């Protein structure tokens, strides 16, 4: 059966994340419903991963199987006409028969946006937080992250059994003219990991805790030792690499 790769983006405000769940509105269910309408048959999307309620994706990848060959461009155009304004498909293409959007992904990149002042336009896609960050110290904290592999201190709820290792490939903070952007790329992430990581890094950047204390938080593996999770609406899944 032919397999297709679909690349898209979504604004997460109106959704309980990507994953289809009973009695809640999800991105997966929204796209599947309209895709079934376009194809006039039922298909199931398999996504590259979950996102929390309210989190956005500027680049998301999924796959689906279709019994009949598709005109990818025509299907993409028809689907976009039906989808709400907060979801946009920018590519559908045929994939290898064994392609898997989740298991074949080599890395995932997230970005968190902080605006120092209130904005009439960015209030839904950046956290407004007046904060003075020490970017030199934050750069040192990012090096600590890249040398660590166990991130249970940033995991919400039950930690996956024997599967808590995450390899951080990149981690950095950028000081912009209006705020700050944190970018992190890894092979995988634990539940709520990025939001808890950002909250703890802000504690480091505001010198609420030292670099030595930050290291101790990582080593402890205890969620209550880490900082608060930052709000979901500033977080974007921004790149999937295969």
Residues 198, 89 share a domain: no
Please tell me whether residues 112 and 28 are part of one structural domain. no
Q: Are residues 225 and 153 in the same domain?
A: yes
Three-class SS string for 136-159? HHHHHHHHHHHCCCECHHHCCCCC
Residue 101 counted as domain residue: no
Asked if residue 205 and residue 117 are part of one domain, the reply reads yes
Q: Do 30 and 60 fall into the same domain?
A: yes
> Is 205 found in the same domain as 118?
yes
* β-sheet bridge partners, residue 56: 236
Last residue of a domain, one of 41, 69, 95: 95
Kindly tell me the burial class for residue 217, based on how many C-beta atoms sit within 10 Å of its own C-beta (0-12, 13-18, 19 or more).
Answer: buried
Q: In the prediction, which pLDDT does 162 show?
A: 67
Residue 100 lies in a domain: no
Query: Does 149 reside within a domain?
Result: yes
Per-residue DSSP letter, 116: S
Answer whether residue 197 is part of any domain.
Answer: yes
CATH number, domain with residue 128: 3.30.70.660
Q: Centre a 10 Å sphere on the Cβ of residue 137 and count the other Cβ atoms it contains.
A: 18
Residue 82 lies in a domain: yes
In a domain, 102, yes or no: no
128 and 67, same domain (yes or no): no
Is there a single domain that holds both residue 78 and residue 116? no
- What tokens were used for 9? 């983006």
Show which of 34, 63, 95 is a domain's final residue: 95
Number of domains in the chain: 2
- Contacts of residue 1, Cβ cutoff 8 Å, sequence gap at least 6: 65, 66, 67, 97
DSSP 165: B
> What pLDDT is attached to residue 159?
74
Same domain membership, residue 28 and residue 130: no
CATH of the domain at 54: 3.30.70.580
pLDDT digits (tens, 9 = 90+) for 110-141: 999 999 999 999 999 999 999 999 999 999 99
Hey, which residues are catalytic here? 52
My answer on whether 62 and 114 are in the same domain is no
**Integer Cα distance of 233 and 62 in angstroms:** 22
Q: Tell me which of 55, 73, 95 is where a domain ends.
A: 95
Sign of the four-CA dihedral 46, 51, 53, 57: negative
Domain residue limits at 132: 107-241
Q: Do 79 and 116 share a domain, yes or no?
A: no
Residue 158 is predicted with a pLDDT of: 77
Per-residue model confidence as pLDDT tens digits over 160-174: 666 779 999 999 999
Query: Are 124 and 229 part of one and the same domain?
Result: yes
Low-confidence stretches of the chain (pLDDT < 50) are none
């Amino acid at each position: 059966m032919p397999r297709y790769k679909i690349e898209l983006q979504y604004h997460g405000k109106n959704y309980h994340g990507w994953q289809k769940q009973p009695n809640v509105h999800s991105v997966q269910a929204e796209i599947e419903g309209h895709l079934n309408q376009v194809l006039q048959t039922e298909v199931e999307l398999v996504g590259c991963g979950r996102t929390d309620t309210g989190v956005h994706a500027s680049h998301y990848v999924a796959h689906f199987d279709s019994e009949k060959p598709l005109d990818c461009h025509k299907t993409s155009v028809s689907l976009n006409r039906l989808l709400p304004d907060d979801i946009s498909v920018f590519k559908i293409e045929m994939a290898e028969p064994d392609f898997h959007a989740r298991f074949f992904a080599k890395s995932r990149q997230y970005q968190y946006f902080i605006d120092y002042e209130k904005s009439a336009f960015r209030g839904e896609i950046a956290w407004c937080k007046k904060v003075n960050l020490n970017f030199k110290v934050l750069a040192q904290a990012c090096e600590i992250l890249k040398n660590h592999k166990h991130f249970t201190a940033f995991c919400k709820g039950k930690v996956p059994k024997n599967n808590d290792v995450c390899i951080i490939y990149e981690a950095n903070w950028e000081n912009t003219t209006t705020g700050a952007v944190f970018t992190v790329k890894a092979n995988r992430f634990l539940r709520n990991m990025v939001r808890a990581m950002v909250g703890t890094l802000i504690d480091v950047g505001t010198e609420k805790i030292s670099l030595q204390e930050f290291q101790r938080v990582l080593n402890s593996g205890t969620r209550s030792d880490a900082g608060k999770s930052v709000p979901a609406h500033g977080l974007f899944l921004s790149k999937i690499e295969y």
